[in-house]
């Protein structure tokens, strides 16, 4: 069954959003797959400029486990299915320059963990 866009009203403005769990090729190729949660939001009836936020599995970061929409680090977690978190993501994107009523391209956030303050940027060479 395909997931449907959900509706949320934030500060009097209607948005549509969806969360999906995706398996990507792990860095370096091979057969390993890396999990990620992908959050996408649109201004209602304006799909030309979506907000796309990616939460990719990595060291000390988990996406979609134990349930779809759950992202966490050892210190914090967020449920991307919760309206309060959805509102937080959208408000943060708006304050960072997402202009869904004017833009014609996607506003992409490659590191959702840092974007939401769940984790600092991780240096792959850093020891845990």
Give me the average pLDDT of each 10-residue run along the chain (128 residues): 83 96 71 84 93 93 86 93 97 97 94 89 45
**Spacing of C-alpha 91 from chain mean position:** 13
Tokens read off for 116: 């939401």
Quick one: pLDDT at residue 120? 62
The per-residue pLDDT for 49 is 93
pLDDT of residue 111: 95
Write out the H or E segment, with its range, that includes residue 113.
Answer: helix 112-115
For residue 78, count CB atoms less than 10 angstroms from its CB and return exposed for 0-12, middle for 13-18, buried for 19 or more.
Answer: buried
- Collect all residues with Cβ–Cβ distance below 8 Å to 86 and sequence separation of at least 6: 6, 8, 17, 39, 41, 80
Contacts of residue 76, defined as CB under 8 A and 6 or more positions apart, other chains included, come to: 117, 118, 119
CB 25 within 8 A of CB 34: yes
Per-domain residue ranges of the chain: 6-115
Q: Residue 24: which of 53, 54, 1 has the closest Cα? A: 54
């Amino acid at each position: 069954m395909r997931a449907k866009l959900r509706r949320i009203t934030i500060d009097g403005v209607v948005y549509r959003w969806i969360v999906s769990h995706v398996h990507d090729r792990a860095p370096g190729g091979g057969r390993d797959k890396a999990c990620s949660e992908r959050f996408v939001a649109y201004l209602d009836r304006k799909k030309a400029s979506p907000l796309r936020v990616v939460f990719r599995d990595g060291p000390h970061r988990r996406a979609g486990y134990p349930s779809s929409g759950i992202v966490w680090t050892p210190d914090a977690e967020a449920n991307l299915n919760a309206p309060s978190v959805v509102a937080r993501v959208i408000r943060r994107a708006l304050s960072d320059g997402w202009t869904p009523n004017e833009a014609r391209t996607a506003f992409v956030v490659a590191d959702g963990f840092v974007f939401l303050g769940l984790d600092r940027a991780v240096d792959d060479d850093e020891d845990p």
